[in-house]
Structure 1
């Protein structure tokens, strides 16, 4: 006799399969799962009775009655996905089919302390629920994708660098969100949730081995093998940035490696390099240099790039070539099918993106016999929050 736990496991497997496929028939389910027809009928009936799945019309006949088609019920509940980043944060409201009902985004400025962030987030959630005539009870959970390092199990943001506001050290973000909103929350690294989101968006391509690299204030990465995120023994933010690409090279920060990738291909590296570039001082950006300045703000570099400043473009493309070397190292180690590139620098200029790819492929072993695909992703800036919401759907409880 099947135990309650075994039945719940079977229901969860069926639900996740239907969710990923979109619309399926019972015959399709029977061909994929080793479940007896009578048991399958019972499980589908219970899922439908509970409102978790629903009938979705009938398929084509192969000689007999047209088969009943099933899909997950989009209105069974709703999920909130949150991204916590250094430049901005975002919040998305999704139904169970991962249709985005609303997205909001805000800047993370000097005043956005953890306490202010939680208050603002709770206000945004309340506003979205009111707009869509939903109650807090209809929200299954809140998924959070954040910069690290993290204690994922404890729901704590540990000691991230480069937040503009103070206080982002040892922040029990899940507990704070739960206390403010009355909704359970789960936490994972934003690079992981971005890759989860992009993998879901590209699910029809049936990709199994993927790599995600975020290039912004710092460098972050996530890896997927056989369709599952690879979690290491620790969650250390920015480790990819410490990949040494030039022995005895420059160091970006006191606690970083000399010659590390972050010193050549990050937003902070560009700001630092621009300040010491004599050509920019003399020809390109005289008006931006002020006495005692320690950096040229990235926003000003980006503006000069849009104006066609050739020296600034060269600065960006040199960084892109260094990024390409780092990407080649990752490719030669993990051999992914697809690499998703995201972050501020990737979207800064199309030539930056293309130069990084060209350099990576030139240094990929066995190229062109082995040619991984590059993409900016399907979800792009919404990937982190979408993947965070997917985490909640995957944790849906079928016990009881």
Structure 2
């Protein structure tokens, strides 16, 4: 059983886990390559491979190209040797993903957060859906490596708590012992919590050595950083702190304020009042208004387009400041606006490049997140898996 194997800590299992981790990170390998890369004796590698095969933790993938004689066997991890549950718990939507140990989505469940989603109700709903998915796929609890939770900060990783987040629709989301409360209901001991932006960065940086800056914008701004496959996070787990960067010194206005959806809607309304003597739409109906704003962009509304472009310029300045400090190899943007309105994304990147120092000498790659619905929940799965090797 994979979980039992990963929990072992003797010298024998440490070297065996090195082989398993190498196969997991690199996809597959021959025995000769394992010997060379891990600097182990061939007899040791052979013995460990035999045990891993017998316990169905790894499997044969195929045979490699032969240089004469019998072709070498190629080994890979057995993706169904264990399963992980990842949760993306955000202010507006929560996603629960059941993944195999290769982080492939087996099944998932999502629900929108509204005023009835108090902590107690949400935790009970998550526990119910975890049981449903495990029963549906005939997976016992001892086959589950653990549960990872990605959420908004600030958090207490050690105590497994959500501390004082902003903007949850329902009341009561302050100082919630999320890990212990969920553990009581699901009978799974290994549960870890991390800021969602960090987990998105972790998932985006799987199996690479790059430094990645991952930015999630919408109601606010959350940023995560991964370097050499490891998260770089602050003590409080508050990924929103990047958004507290002051952009407008005269008014003390932060980056998050100038790029948030609420700001955009208010700014569009202000400009409509100035040019047309009326509001764009009622900002109390935020979701409907945001949908209408996207429609207006697609239809070429010049007032809306100008407001969005100005906000994108500020976002680009903020990104440039982050790049100048962090020197990432790659910047990933995740937002509803970047997906639905390409000029917004282009304006951010164009502005950022103009204000990044040493760009010619240290080029940065910019990209847009395309699998935004499950990147955090799958990153939460990766967090649990990595926990067995730290």
TM-score (norm 1): 0.88
- Decide whether aligned partners of structure 1 residues 280 and 152 sit closer, same or farther in structure 2, where only a CA change above 3 A counts: farther
**Pair 336,237 (structure 1): closer, same or farther in 2 beyond 3 Å:** closer
Aligned to 2:290: 298
Are the structure 2 counterparts of residues 70 and 314 from structure 1 closer, same or farther at C-alpha, using a change threshold of 3 Å?
same
- Spell out, residue by residue over 1:304-335, the C-alpha distance to the aligned partner (whole angstroms, 9 max, x if none): 33443221121111111100000000111111
Task: Summarize deviations over 1:160-215 as a string: whole Å, max 9, x none.
Answer: 00111111111111112211211231111101110111112xx3xx3421111111
Deviation, structure 1 residue 336: 1.1
SS of the residue 1:40 aligns to: helix
User: Contact 1:274 / 1:280 at 8 angstroms: preserved in 2?
Assistant: no
Find the counterpart in structure 1 of residue 225 from structure 2.
223
Task: Give the drift of 1:243.
Answer: 0.5
Residue 10 (structure 1) aligns with: 15
310, 316, 327: which one pairs with 2:308?
A: 316
* 1:188-203 alignment, distance < 5 Å: 188-200=194-206, 203=207
CA contact (8 A) 2:224 2:239 kept: no
Mapped to 2, the partners of 1:56 and 1:303 lie a distance apart of 49
Query: Per-residue deviation at 1:340?
Result: 0.8
Q: Which residue of 1 aligns with 2:3?
A: none
From the superposition, tell whether residues 96 and 4 of structure 1 become closer, same or farther in structure 2 (CA, over 3 Å): closer
CA distance, structure 1, for counterparts of residue 10 and residue 320 of structure 2:
45
Partner of 2:180: 175
Query: Which of 165, 177, 191 is the matching residue for 1:160?
Result: 165
Asked if 1:138 is matched to 2:132, the reply is no
| Deviation readout 1:201-245 (Å, 9 max, x if unpaired) | xx3xx3421111111111111112233211223322410111011
The equivalent residue for 2:318 is: 326
Matches within 5 A, 1:60-139: 60-139=65-144
Task: Please tell me whether residue 233 in structure 1 is matched to residue 235 in structure 2.
Answer: yes
Contact between 1:304 and 1:312, CA under 8 Å: does it hold in 2?
A: yes
1:390 maps to 382
Q: Does residue 147 of structure 2 align to residue 151 of structure 1?
A: no
- The alpha carbon displacement at 1:348 in A equals 4.1
For the 8 Å contact 1:59–1:67, the answer to whether it is kept is yes
Contact preservation (8 Å) 1:219, 1:240: yes
SS at structure 2 position matched to 1:366: coil
Worse-superposed segment, 261-270 or 229-238: 229-238
Q: Post-superposition shift, 1:55?
A: 2.0
Q: In structure 2, do the counterparts of structure 1 residues 284 and 212 end up closer, same or farther at CA, with 3 Å as the change threshold?
A: farther
Unmatched runs of 5 consecutive residues or more in structure 1: 250-257
Distance in 2 (alpha carbons) for counterparts of 1:172 and 1:306: 43
State which drifts further: 87-96 or 118-127: 118-127
Distance 1:304 1:37, change over 3 A: same
Aligned counterparts of 2:161 and 2:271: Cα–Cα separation in 1: 40
**Residues 266 and 345 in structure 1, CA contact (< 8 A), matched pair in contact too:** no
CA apart distance, 1:4: 5.4
How many correspondences in the alignment? 381
Q: Write the distance in 1 (CA, Å) between the matches of 2:294 and 2:118.
A: 27
Residue in structure 2 matching 1:186, options 168, 189, 192: 192
Q: Cα distance 1:239–1:127, how it changes in 2: closer, same or farther (>3 A)?
A: same
Conservation of the 8 A alpha-carbon contact between 1:60 and 1:67: yes
Residues 215, 223 of structure 2: 8 Å contact kept: yes
Q: Could you tell me which of 268, 276, 286 is aligned with 1:274?
A: 268
Worse overlay, 259-268 or 130-139: 130-139
CA–CA separation in structure 1 for the residues paired with 2:342 and 2:278: 21
Q: Distance in 2 between matches of 1:109 and 1:300?
A: 20
Backbone CA RMSD of aligned residues:
2.4
Structure-2 change in CA distance of 1:248 and 1:240 (3 Å): same
Aligned partners of 2:116 and 2:170 also within 8 Å: yes
Cα distance, 1:361–1:168 mapped onto 2, change above 3 Å? same
Q: Structure 2: where are the runs of 5+ without partners?
A: 1-7
Q: 1:56 aligns to what? A: 61
Q: Judge conservation of contact 1:262–1:269 (CA < 8 Å) in 2.
A: no
Separation in 2, partners of 1:393, 1:177: 19
